[in-house]
Amino acid sequence: MNILYICTHNRCRSILSEAITNHLAQGRIKACSAGSQPSGEVHPLSIRYLREKGIDTAGLESKSWDAFEQNQPDVVVTVCDSAANESCPVWFGDTLKVHWGLPDPSKLEGSEEDIREAFYRVMETIEHRVQGLLSLQEKNLSREELRNALVSIAEVN
| Residues forming the active site | 7, 80, 88
67: closest CA among 127, 23, 135, 14?
Answer: 14
Alpha helices by DSSP H, 1-111: 13-25, 44-52, 81-84
State the Cα–Cα distance between residues 118 and 99, nearest whole angstrom: 20
Burial of 1 (0-12, 13-18, 19+ CB in 10 A): middle
